Amino acid sequence: MDRPEARRTDAPPTPGNVPDDGSSSARPGDGAATGGDYAPGAPRATGFARIVAATRYSLQGMRRLWDEEAFRHEVIASAAGLILFALVGAATWQYLAFLILMLVLFAVEALNTAVEELVDRISPEISTVGRHAKDLGSFAVFALLTANGLFALYVVIENLSR
């Protein structure tokens, strides 16, 4: 029998021991990836309400990502890229390709930030595995930054050589 006073308080949050102090980011209906809800018995949003809830969660994620200086730099770089494309007379497909690349970069930056937060939460001490996870996320962002930069360089050279 699992008595509440016998539970470990230092255990990491799981669906059965999510803290009740509001510090958890668990939401009803978020258990799709883990096979269950974090709040057993909580009503699950369906239909349009689920879309509204998912949009709200996404906007919260975007607000959280805005706190990252690297993301703000990437947003500034995307705006500068669009201005540069306008100056060199880029084609519509080039704008579209650049916007898609930037959205992928933003998504990877969000995933990298999530990995960093999870590593810091789960393993606050310095560990090789945690360092590797963070380094791999950083490399993914670097690879996309390189792809975006090379594509922007291609567009500039292509349009200035006409």
- Positions annotated as catalytic residues are 109
Question: Which string of DSSP letters, residue by residue, matches 32-44?
Answer: TTTTS-SSTTPPP
CA distances in angstroms from 76 to 66, 79, 85, listed in the order given: 12, 5, 14
C-alpha span between 132 and 136 (Å, rounded): 6
- The end-to-end CA distance of the chain, in Å, is 77
Rounded Cα–Cα distance for residues 58 and 56 (Å) = 5
The gap from C-alpha 91 to its chain's centroid, in whole angstroms, comes to 30
CB 72 within 8 A of CB 66: yes
Contact between 44 and 37 under an 8 Å Cβ cutoff? The reply is yes
